[in-house]
């Protein structure tokens, strides 16, 4: 187990080979991971503005919740090729209670949100006097700056936000050493800092924000009339203004939806139809949803876009593809990082996030698959019952061997039947007693057995 950060920091300060190292300079991957970045539309893109875009919010929320649903567990490989569950390890206790405020779902969901927006997720590791990790305190990526020293040392300059975080990190230095920070990074160009996803997608997100604001202003300001009032005779300017004000007062606002209008003196209402420009605007908004979904590798069907899935693909196949291509890489990154940070690989312990909840089919599909697994000798009845949350039954831990899988030349058990072989010359064998090693019984010269 690694030493606590305070002792490691003291060790670095006392080491003579590092006395001339620089205090540290900010490390950037490609696009600065902090603050806001401008898009080509002139709109500033930050965590708050990006999450205001419905497509970004949906992609981030869907992936964060799906990954947080996968419960992490610790295993030790055994000699039989299986794995034994580890429950009494200090890291297993963090899985049950990462800190005094959050459950594991809440903690990892917050970590995934930072990871998906900024390409980086940070959590300070609080340790006891023995150096064992006891709490993980999540930190917003915008409050962390990675510092790299000339001797290769890595520090994390943390800006405390909120009284709770100030209290939790009161015993940590401003520049937290590398061994006391859990850092989950995404695509990186310098191996130290992940590239900001909303920074890379700033123009796509900015265009979606611009289209959203343009549509909202059209509705708010009435930039495009919904229809016109036509009179058969010429109206005076005061009469036209009076008619306009009366019509807007009668039809404007949600409280007047569905009211019946009464027109006089030959005045008619003509609704303005959508033009090709309007239809192109709607198509462009749908295109931006698809563009943002590509950055997050989320199927359009999960974002409520209809007609985006081929009729040849079943919902089960689409769900399997989503888990394989989108969720599994997130789980692998998390598993490997947990093993690296807490030194589990040195103890021969493996981390596994259970993705079974994401692949849980309907009840008929599960029961048919369970029946096939039991009848083919792959699963025991109790394994199936445990997967369904049912208590074990007596005698349910034995594998069932199908009767039609016996070896050739046997009736069922695959072994030679009793009395098989050639009997001794001139004698008759007793029933059920083998009399010879010769596997081919033949008639003797007198035609008798």
Last residue of a domain, one of 310, 335, 355: 355
pLDDT tens digits along 195-218: 999 999 999 999 999 888 877 776
* 275: in domain: yes
Task: Look up residue 158 and give its two tokens.
Answer: 């943390």
Confidence tier at 436 by pLDDT (50, 70, 90): low
Nearest to 428 by CA among 411, 404, 444: 444
125 and 222 belong to one structural domain: yes
- On whether both 94 and 196 belong to a single domain, the answer is yes
Q: Considering all CA atoms of the chain, what is the largest pairwise distance in Å, rounded to the nearest integer?
A: 135
Contact between residue 94 and residue 136 where contact means Cβ atoms under 8 Å apart: yes
Q: Are residues 114 and 25 in the same domain?
A: yes
CA atoms within 13 A of residue 47's CA, in its CB half-sphere:
17
Residue 252: inside a domain: no
Give the closest residue to 323 by CA, choosing from 315, 114, 111, 290.
315
Q: Per the domain annotation, does 263 fall within a domain?
A: no
Residues 319, 406 within the same domain: no
Same domain as 370, residue 304: no
Give CB contacts under 8 A, 24+ apart, made by 127-130: 127/4, 127/5, 127/180, 129/4
pLDDT above 90 as % of the chain: 41
Provide the domain count of the chain: 2
Q: Are residues 405 and 277 in the same domain?
A: no
Listing DSSP states for 196-222 in one string gives PHHHHTHHHHHHHHHHHHHHHHHHHHT
- pTM of the predicted model, to two decimals? 0.71
Same domain, 327 and 394: no
Which pLDDT score is estimated for 237? 79
**What is the Cα 198 distance to its own chain's centre?**
18
Bigger pLDDT: 335 vs 278: 335
Categorize the per-residue pLDDT at 12 as very low, low, confident or very high, splitting at 50, 70 and 90.
very low
**Percent of the chain having pLDDT more than 70?**
69
Taking residues 31-41, what's their average pLDDT? 77
pLDDT over threshold 60, residue 1: no
Residue 33 included in any domain:
yes
Least confident interval from 154-158, 389-393, 408-412: 408-412
Return the pLDDT at 420.
61
Between these two residues, 413 and 158, which has the higher pLDDT value? Answer: 158
Q: How far apart are CA 321 and CA 324, in angstroms?
A: 5
Where would I find the beta strands (DSSP E) of 113-186? 120-127, 133-139, 144-148, 154-158, 175-177, 181-185
Residue 288 included in any domain: yes
Highest mean pLDDT among 250-254, 352-356, 362-366: 352-356
| Alpha helices, H only, 127-201 | 163-168, 197-200
Could you tell me if 33 and 85 lie in one domain? yes
Residue with more model confidence, 138 or 444: 138
Span 301-344, pLDDT tens digits: 888 777 666 667 777 788 888 999 999 999 999 999 999 999 99
Q: Is 310 part of a structural domain of the chain? A: yes
Do residues 275 and 405 share a domain? no
Q: Residue 21 falls within a domain, yes or no?
A: yes
Query: Looking at the structure, do residues 219 and 368 belong to the same domain, yes or no?
Result: no
* Shared-domain flag, residues 282 and 334: yes
Which residue range is the domain that position 318 belongs to? 1-231+270-355
Least trusted range by pLDDT, from 93-97, 118-122, 317-321, 409-413: 409-413
The mean pLDDT value for 172-195 works out to 93
**275, 374: one domain:** no
Is the pLDDT confidence value at 115 over 60?
yes
Any domain includes 251: no
């Amino acid at each position: 187990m690694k030493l606590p950060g305070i002792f490691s920091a003291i060790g670095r300060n006392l080491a003579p080979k590092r006395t001339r190292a620089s205090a540290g300079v900010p490390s950037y991957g490609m696009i600065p991971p902090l603050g806001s970045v401008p898009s080509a539309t002139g709109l500033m893109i930050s965590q708050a503005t990006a999450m205001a875009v419905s497509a970004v919010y949906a992609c981030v929320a869907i992936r964060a919740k799906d990954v947080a649903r996968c419960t992490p567990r610790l295993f030790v490989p055994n000699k039989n090729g299986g794995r034994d569950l580890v429950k009494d390890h200090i890291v297993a206790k963090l899985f049950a209670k990462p800190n005094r405020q959050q459950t594991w779902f809440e903690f990892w969901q917050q970590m995934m949100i930072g990871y998906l927006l900024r390409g980086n997720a940070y959590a300070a590791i609080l340790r006891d006097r023995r150096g064992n990790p006891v709490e993980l305190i999540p930190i917003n990526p915008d409050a962390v700056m990675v510092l790299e020293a000339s001797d290769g040392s890595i520090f994390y300059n943390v800006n405390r936000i909120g009284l709770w975080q100030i209290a939790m990190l009161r015993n940590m230095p401003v520049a937290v050493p590398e061994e006391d920070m859990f850092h989950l990074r995404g695509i990186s160009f310098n191996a130290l800092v992940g590239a900001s996803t909303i920074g890379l997608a700033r123009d796509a997100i900015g265009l979606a924000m611009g289209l959203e604001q343009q549509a909202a202003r059209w509705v708010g300001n009435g930039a495009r009339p919904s229809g016109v009032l036509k009179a058969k005779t010429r109206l005076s300017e005061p009469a036209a203004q009076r008619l306009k004000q009366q019509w807007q007062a009668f039809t404007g606002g949600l409280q007047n939806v569905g009211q019946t209008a009464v027109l006089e003196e030959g005045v008619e209402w003509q609704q303005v139809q959508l033009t090709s420009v309007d239809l192109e605007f709607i198509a462009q908004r749908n295109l931006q949803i698809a563009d943002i979904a590509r950055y997050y590798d989320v199927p359009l069907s999960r974002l409520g876009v209809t007609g985006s899935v081929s009729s040849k693909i079943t919902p089960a196949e689409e769900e399997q593809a989503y888990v394989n291509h989108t969720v599994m890489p997130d789980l692998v990154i998390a598993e490997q990082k947990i093993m690296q940070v807490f030194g589990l690989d040195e103890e021969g312990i493996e981390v596994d996030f259970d993705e079974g909840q994401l692949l849980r089919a309907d009840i008929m599909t599960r029961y048919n698959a369970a029946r096939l697994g039991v009848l083919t000798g792959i699963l025991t009845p109790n394994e199936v019952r445990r997967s369904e949350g049912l208590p074990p039954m007596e005698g349910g831990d034995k594998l069932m061997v199908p009767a039609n899988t016996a070896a050739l030349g046997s009736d069922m058990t695959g072994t030679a039947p009793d009395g098989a072989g050639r009997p001794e010359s001139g004698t008759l064998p007793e029933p059920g007693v083998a009399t010879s090693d010769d596997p081919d019984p033949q008639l003797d010269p007198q035609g008798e057995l």
